[in-house]
Amino acid sequence: MKLKGMKVFITGADGFIGSHLVEQCLKEGAKVRAFVYYNSFGRLGWLDSFSPKVLEQIDIRIGDIRDFYCIHQACKDIDIVFHLAALIGIPYSYVAPESYVATNVTGTLNVLQAGRMRKVKKIIHTSTSEVYGTAQYAPIDESHPINPQSPYAATKSSADSLALSFYRSFGLPVTVLRPFNTYGPRQSARAVIPTIMSQIASGHRTIKLGNLAAMRDLNYVSDTVNAFIHLAKTDKGLGEVFNAGSGREVSIAQLVEMIKSVTDVRVTVTQDKQRVRPKKSEVERLICGADKLNRLTGWRSEISLEKGLEKTYRWIAQNKNIFRTERYYV
């Protein structure tokens, strides 16, 4: 299946990965409808950074993923839905878990119901590696037990199950993509790489972090976006889950050393207790097994961590004023 000429609907288009996916779908020749979270400032999230010429190519719909009517209207005449809209900050899910249920579970239900009623050709639902919890074996493949350790992960696991149930119950053409940790330009400082880099770019030489021993599989945003594109183009994989990741793991302590090398800045690290997850909620190790996605579509991670960190730091250094490094925001 080619995306050229296809009508695609992207929820969460105003966010980090969503905005990059909008750009790539346009490059593929798709007709893009972007769903943006309503706010009283009239802001379009990262779509505001697009040129007027690019914005003219996008059918922007403003609303709330929790409102079925908004989603049903926006799904009219759509071929493919990329569902990325979600609350994603893990620390905030300890503070406001009900809002995560409303957005991640009920919001996903709205997308599934609307897609079913509008008879879309495919829905690609976005999951997260956090649903696996700490690796019980490595690399983590799609058969790994689901063990969410935070309210955020629990709502994403619930949304995944809901999406798959709609395939089994109603024949809705759903595929679940489960990206491992994504990083790159436009990511907020709620994630570890922009947390470190924004502090360095702002002149800090003592970096505040949480758990330094946690192991993560880090993937540049263009690789994650290409996983969405590969799944959109195949006619296979409906009703299935696919991991997307590099298969390489690094500890946060090792990551700091890599970033020090990229930035050529010497820093020290101090642990900030605010940034440490509750002990039983901390996911200590994530490393991806993406053989299933590779076999089906040929997708593989292409941007090395070293190269991706260089690209990300250049962007953060150029946009350091958008980051607030003077305090910690959950």
Nearest partner of 106 among 132, 82, 87, judged by Cα: 87
pLDDT at site 325: 83
Phi first, then psi: give them for residue 249, nearest 5 degrees: -120, 145
Q: How many structural domains comprise the chain?
A: 2
- Is residue 327 included in any domain, yes or no? no
Do 18 and 67 belong to one domain? yes
- Is residue 253 included in any domain, yes or no? yes
- Is residue 12 included in any domain, yes or no? yes
What are 6-42's pLDDT values in tens digits? Answer: 999 999 999 999 999 999 999 999 999 999 999 999 9
Given a contact cutoff of 8 angstroms between Cβ atoms, the answer to whether 10 and 228 are in contact is no
Do 163 and 24 belong to one domain? yes
- Judged by DSSP in three states, 5 sits in coil
- Is residue 14 included in any domain, yes or no? yes
Do 153 and 136 belong to one domain? yes
> Which domain CATH number covers 197?
3.90.25.10
Do 120 and 62 belong to one domain? yes
DSSP class per residue in 126-152: E--GGGG-S-SSSSB-TTSPP---SHH
- Is residue 330 included in any domain, yes or no? no
Distance CA(305)–CA(145), nearest Å, equals 27
User: Is there a cis peptide before residue 139, judged by omega within 30 degrees of 0?
Assistant: yes
Do 134 and 35 belong to one domain? yes
pLDDT at site 272: 87
Which residue, 244, 260, 285, sits at the end of a domain?
A: 244
> Which domain CATH number covers 115?
3.40.50.720
pLDDT at site 274: 85
Do 258 and 161 belong to one domain? no
Amino acid sitting at position 115? G
- Is residue 70 included in any domain, yes or no? yes
Element (H or E) spanning 260, and its range? helix 252-263
Q: Token digits for 107? A: 């919001």
Do 130 and 207 belong to one domain? no
- Is residue 1 included in any domain, yes or no? no
Do 239 and 254 belong to one domain? no
Do 163 and 199 belong to one domain? no
pLDDT at site 273: 85
pTM metric for this prediction: 0.97
Do 237 and 311 belong to one domain? no
Do 149 and 179 belong to one domain? yes
Regarding beta strands 174-179 and 7-11, do their DSSP bridges make them parallel or antiparallel, or are they unpaired?
unpaired
- Is residue 57 included in any domain, yes or no? yes
User: How far is C-alpha 81 from the geometric centre of its chain's CA atoms?
Assistant: 15
Do 211 and 299 belong to one domain? yes
Range of the domain at 317: 192-216+248-322
pLDDT at site 328: 78
Walking along the chain (330 residues) 10 residues at a time, the average pLDDT comes out as: 95 98 98 97 97 98 98 98 97 97 98 98 98 98 98 98 98 98 95 95 92 96 98 98 98 96 93 89 97 98 98 96 82
